[in-house]
Structure 1
Amino acid sequence: MANPTVPKRQLGRALRELREAAVKSREDVAKALECSASKISRIENGHVGVRSTEFAALLDLYDVPLDQRKDLSALARETRKRRPRTTYGRSIPDWFRRFVSLEESASEIRTYNGELVPGLLQTEDYTRAVTEANPLHAPTDIERLVRARAARQARLVGDNPPRLWVVMSEGPLRLQVGGRDVMASQLEHIVEMAKLDHVTVQVAPFAAGAHASTGLNFTLLQFPDDIGVDVVYLEDLTSASYLDKRDDPQRQSYVLVWQHLTASALSPRDTIRLVNTVRRELRQN
């Protein structure tokens, strides 16, 4: 079943444009629907769906013509579809589920990590070692979490894959997660994934010193819905933040940092040379 995230964003954008054309504020609409202005904001930003009764009221409030209502109604029905359950769903924390849904809908994923190989490039053994090292994960959830990450990665080798652009510090190449054998396989996997046309891998080497994203991990998601707004995802130990407002200066700051980061990191070709150098060092020691 299709992921309803993109239809929610498309419908939210359309409803925002209709509201603005009707010269109404979110407060005006909230009063008419007897709800909060923040709920209208969440609907327009695609964070939540809109109930059928609320949707009908909005179309009436905005004086939407009948010929336009048909397409909007079809889009609204798409947003209410439920995704099938998975065997690993309960092991994923609630605050991370929104990211999984957004990532699944993204047409482009750009991510930086200074300590670990980013999740979409991890081997199962590497993921297992990282997951086992976190005391917050119950032993019974380890394999479910490993399968969940593998399911996210499957889209990269399926039909219509997203564009993936990964930048990492040199640190993840040298941190021996799971031991030498696991790391050797992980480095080989990075090389193989980097051969895909839609995957770009860059490394910010130790020798280059500080760079634009030193001490800061983040992910930028872009979507095929013409909204033109990246979602910035920021994660900590037990929660996450999402920056997705069009004029949010914080979101724009991450876009600027990404531009500087990619310009200062090694080229994709030089990155693979460094990865292969670290692989040889693992075998020699």
Structure 2
Amino acid sequence: MVKGPVASRVLLGFELRELREAAGKDVEAVVTHTGWYATKIYRSERGEGALAAAEIDKLLAFYGASKATATRIRDIAAQARRRGSYGKVPDWSRQYFGLEQDATELRFHQGELVPGLFQTEAYARALISTSKTVAPADVDDVVQSRIRRRSLLTGKNPPEVHLVLGEAAIHCQVGGPEALVEQINHLIDVAKLPNVTLQLLPFAVGAHAALGDGFSLLTLEIGGGPSKWVYVSDLNRGECRADPAQVRTYQLTFDSLVVNALGEGETLARLRQTRDGLR
């Protein structure tokens, strides 16, 4: 079930595109009728923006939507116009956080650092304090926003989560040895959750398809079927992509990492060994 405004925007986009195509209208016809730019129509059909109630009504009338269809779409549009509650996060990452909240499956790969969803407060603070895009006055708020995300792993009907973590991430002393010990202990606890699979990708694997690249794969149930996304980011921006060819490339890459990574039992043993060596 769609819960958040971002997923509702995606569902709304699916519905509007299907309605337009069923009505035999192309984008140029919508541009002529509404006076909007074509980019606005494409963005709304990709779920990248919420339309005002009057704008929805204009489209519904132009597409000749039935009363039942119009009621359903207006309800979805109302959900899409709600503001999400993600705390202090960059504007460019809000789409990802919105999709993450509604995901049924999450897949992560990071080579050198623990992803945000799995971070302790000390580890997160040490990382965020080095950021050139977060003002010092905002560090506390950003840290707390990140820590609140962890409830996703243990809440009601949590997503199925799979993390393939590079071995370098449990040796890089983010925040110092004590903070890293705490972080590794947290990973051990998280790995025991029934909905979480954690695997370490050891140094011995050498070259692999995702060397130097981190990414997240998300699956949501939208419009009666799975909607799959990949999220990639750098220092200045992040992007959620739903293009099937791109998502498949990342999924195949993730599958290859799973094959080469340590099993869950071996991963726990390596985590404990590394932790004990830091004490």
TM score, norm. by length of structure 2 = 0.92
Contact 2:161 2:197 in 1 (8 A): yes
Report the CA distance shift for 1:30/1:263 in structure 2 as closer, same or farther (over 3 A): farther
Report the CA distance shift for 1:68/1:135 in structure 2 as closer, same or farther (over 3 A): closer
Regions of 4+ moved over 6 Å: none
Q: Distance in 2 between matches of 1:97 and 1:31?
A: 32
Contact 1:3 1:83 in 2 (8 A): yes
1:224 CA drift (Å): 2.2
Q: Distance in 1 between matches of 2:137 and 2:114?
A: 24
1:43-192 to 2 correspondences below 5 Å: 43-83=44-84, 88-89=87-88, 92-192=89-189
Tell me the secondary structure at the aligned position of residue 229 of structure 1.
Answer: strand
1:50 CA drift (Å): 1.6
1:135 CA drift (Å): 4.1
Q: Who is 1:16 aligned against?
A: 17
Q: Who is 2:26 aligned against?
A: 25
Q: Is 2:198 the partner of 1:201?
A: yes
Q: Distance in 2 between matches of 1:71 and 1:97?
A: 25
Q: Is 2:246 the partner of 1:245?
A: no
Report the CA distance shift for 1:54/1:227 in structure 2 as closer, same or farther (over 3 A): farther
Q: Who is 2:234 aligned against?
A: 236
Q: Distance in 2 between matches of 1:180 and 1:82?
A: 40
Contact 2:95 2:240 in 1 (8 A): no
Q: Distance in 2 between matches of 1:212 and 1:270?
A: 22
1:149 CA drift (Å): 0.2
- Residue-by-residue CA offset, 1:100-121 (whole Å, 9 max, x unaligned): 2222222222111111011111
- Residue-by-residue CA offset, 1:191-237 (whole Å, 9 max, x unaligned): 10011111111111001111221111111122121453322111111
1:26 CA drift (Å): 2.1
1:44 CA drift (Å): 1.3
1:81 CA drift (Å): 2.2
- Residue-by-residue CA offset, 1:59-88 (whole Å, 9 max, x unaligned): 12221111222222222222222345x7x5
Q: Who is 1:218 aligned against?
A: 215
Q: Distance in 1 between matches of 2:135 and 2:64?
A: 53
Question: Which one of the candidate residues 234, 253, 258 is aligned to 2:254?
Answer: 258
Contact 2:7 2:98 in 1 (8 A): no
Q: Which amino acid aligns with 2:28?
A: E
Q: Distance in 2 between matches of 1:27 and 1:277?
A: 62
Tell me the secondary structure at the aligned position of residue 50 of structure 1.
Answer: coil
Using the TM superposition, name which of 175-184 and 28-37 deviates more: 28-37
Contact 1:13 1:227 in 2 (8 A): no
TM score, norm. by length of structure 1 = 0.90
Q: Distance in 2 between matches of 1:156 and 1:263?
A: 24
Tell me the secondary structure at the aligned position of residue 210 of structure 1.
Answer: coil
Q: Distance in 2 between matches of 1:235 and 1:126?
A: 20
1:187 CA drift (Å): 0.6
Instruction: Report percent identity of matched pairs.
Output: 36
* C-alpha RMSD of the superposition: 1.8
Q: Distance in 2 between matches of 1:107 and 1:99?
A: 14
For structure 1, list consecutive stretches of 5 or more residues without a partner in the other structure.
Answer: none
